[in-house]
Structure 1
Amino acid sequence: MNLNHLRHLLALAEHQSFRKAAAALCLTQPALSRSLQALEESLNVKLIDRDAKRNTLTVYGEQVVASARRIIFEANELQRGVMLLKEGALGSISIGFGPTPAAILMAPFLIQMATHNPKVQVHISRGSVSLLTQALRNETVDIIAIDLRALTAFDDLRIEPLTPLAGGFIGRAGHPLRLQQQIDLTMLRQYPVMSTPLSDEISRNLATELGAEAHPNRMMTINSEDINGMLDVVEATDAIFFGMFATAKARIAAGKLQVIEVQPNVARLGRYALVSMAGRSEPPPLKLFRGFAHDHFQD
């Protein structure tokens, strides 16, 4: 007995005619007859009363048809579930975000999933690179999006660099500093300066480019992993934010925030990556996040 035998019996029960059932199944009548005979032989009972005018189910046939409907339904659901899982429409994923990737990707990705893949369970974690990396190795997250320069040991990790982002200082529209022809570090430090936790490399670069007073330990008065919260503060006060311009893209486009160029004005690029465990099998929906991240993580 196989599923096709059951499907053939259901077709005969529906049409009550070998000719009509065979046509609906795109089979010849002899092939359908052989299939149903094989089913009867496997169950060792007579399922169909055959006569010249009509084919009706026996008591055994009615019982098998009732069970066959449930079996075929479950088999179809099984195939559909596997197909949807492969396509990323079912299943679950767990994603860890560092501050900047979270500000750029998290809300848009959740909107995308809620709109187009509502049955996929999405679990979000936030934290430092060290904590997220440990969560990755402990298998509590499937993938993390982080500042690549804060990553240390990575021999066991699969690293996918994302598009580098331009960064610098951001203030509210109409900030007093915008009245200055040239802005130096001394002028900047007249106002609160805030940022996310910065890697040692970025800290050294700031001190090298702008002077020792630009080291985050001295310059930053507010430190937080909540970028959107800090941008709210920047928008409402004279505080300055140091970070990636892409995190404030919509606010800059709306004229609420603007870039503040501090001399010497050098190009500052943030480097980020998707990081997962090398060699670990992954839930199929994860490809949705990978594709989304590569498409949307940009200036």
Structure 2
Amino acid sequence: MDLHHLRYLVALAEHQSFRKAADALHLTQPALSRSLQALEEDLGVRLVDRIGKRSTLTAYGSQVVQSARRILSETAELRRGVTLMRQGDLGTIRIGFGPTAAAILMTPFLSQMAARHPKVQVNVARGSVELLTQALRSEAVDIIAVDLRALAVAADLRIDPLAPLRGGFLCRSGHPLLDQPDITLSMLRQFPVMSTPLSREIGRDLVLQLGPEADPEQLMTINSEDIHGLLDIVEATEAVFFGIFRCARSRIEEGRITEMHVQPHAERVGRYALVTLSGRSELPAAALFREFAHALFRE
């Protein structure tokens, strides 16, 4: 259905004359007549009764005019919204964060949006990779930032990997284990060990590197998606955190938390990604988030 034809019908309803409507639309009367005939053929009903010089809408015509006004109004609002979004004055972005991505990205991104793009509406969802992927597919969120190794690859997902980040064990400065020349897994297990829910791949890596007792189901005594809360506990107690160092960067730089090398020591890397639905046009605010995330992960 051609929106121009709907606009012409509305004009005819307002002017009640082909001549006046054609003049207002800057069309010839024959061109206006042909357009309305095309609309009638498209809908399969008669929309206008032509009686002498007067033109009267049929019952179908009146109904179509009501719908046409609504469609044209919504179309104009859509165009206005897109224009404003391009200018950075309006828009909405719905972001889903996994635990580590939230700890690294969420507050800095929201701070930037509040300072530089105060008219953009940002809605945040948090949860597991599975739940966030479901939310993405149901279009409850526009983009998610999650653990790449916990993500099931699928044709309907566009996966954009972020730069890898170092990870491992962290404890408070002054932790008694730091006085030991070699920290073994058995020593570590004397203290609470905390982490976010870990992917099966990470669990397998821990078992391969440290032995069966490193299975997260046995090793981790506290599991939570609140990474900042876990790090607060690490600072206040002798608990140990297993996760990405970037989440604790300011605490590490200030000397409050430090890396703990559990033998045999291995470099551990976390891998994360931004995920959207394949084949969808990206909102300007989502593109802004993508750029921000890549820049922050590269620092």
TM-score by length of 1: 0.72
CA-CA distance at 1:152 after TM superposition: 1.3
Q: Deviations over 1:165-207 (max 9, x none)?
A: 1100000011111101110101111100000000100001101
Equivalent residue letter for 2:277: M
Aligned to 1:216: 216
- Structure 1 residues 80 and 224: alpha-carbon distance in aligned structure 2, compared to 1, 3 A threshold: same
CA root-mean-square deviation? 1.7
Which amino acid is the alignment partner of residue 134 of structure 1? Q
CA distance in 2, matches of 1:128, 1:105: 16
Q: Does the residue aligned with 2:167 lie in a helix, a strand or coil?
A: strand
Q: Is contact 1:87-1:284 (8 Å) kept?
A: no
Is the CA contact (8 Å cut-off) linking 1:156 and 1:277 kept in structure 2? Answer: yes
1:60 aligns to what? none
In 2, the alpha carbon distance for the partners of 1:139 and 1:255 equals 43
State the alpha-carbon separation in 1 of the partners of residues 127 and 185 from structure 2: 30
2:139 maps to which residue? 139
Deviations 1:32-69 (A, max 9, x none): xxxxxxxxxx68xxxxxxxxxxxxxxxxxxxxxxxxxx
Letter in 2 for 1:154: A
Does residue 109 (structure 1) correspond to residue 103 (structure 2)? The answer is no
SS at match of 1:235: helix
> Which residue is 1:206 aligned to?
206
1-structure distance, mates of 2:147, 2:112: 23
Q: Name the SS of the counterpart of 2:218 in structure 1.
A: helix
Query: What does residue 172 of structure 1 align with?
Result: 172
- For structure 2, the residue ranges without an aligned partner over 5 or more in a row are 1-22, 25-76
- Determine the structure 2 residue equivalent to 1:123: 123
Quote how far apart the aligned CAs of 1:287 are: 1.1
Matches within 5 A, 1:69-80: none
Match in the other structure for 2:50: none
Distance 1:88 1:168 in 2: 39
8 A contact 1:87–1:285 mirrored in 2: no
**Residue 142 to residue 119, structure 1, CA distance change in 2 (3 Å):** same
CA 1:190–1:174 in 2, change beyond 3 Å: closer, same or farther? same
Aligned to 1:52: none
**How far is 1:84 from its partner?**
3.6
TM-score (norm 2): 0.72
Distance in 2, matches of 1:298 and 1:226, equals 23
Amino acid at match of 2:163: T
1:212-245 CA-partner distances (Å, limit 9, x unpaired): 0001010000000110010000010000000000
Structure 1 unpaired stretches of 5+: 1-41, 44-76
- For these two proteins, the number of residue pairs brought into alignment is 225
- Give, as a single letter, the amino acid of the residue that structure 1 aligns with 2:128: S
SS of residue matched to 2:166: strand
CA offsets 1:136-179 (integer angstroms, 9 cap, x no match): 00000000000000011421100100000110000001111110
* Displacement of 1:267: 0.9
**SS in structure 2 of the partner of residue 274 of structure 1:** strand
Sequence identity (%): 62
Secondary structure of 1:249's counterpart equals helix
Partner of 1:279: 279
Q: 1:288 deviation in Å?
A: 1.0
Asked which structure has the greater CA Rg, the reply is 1
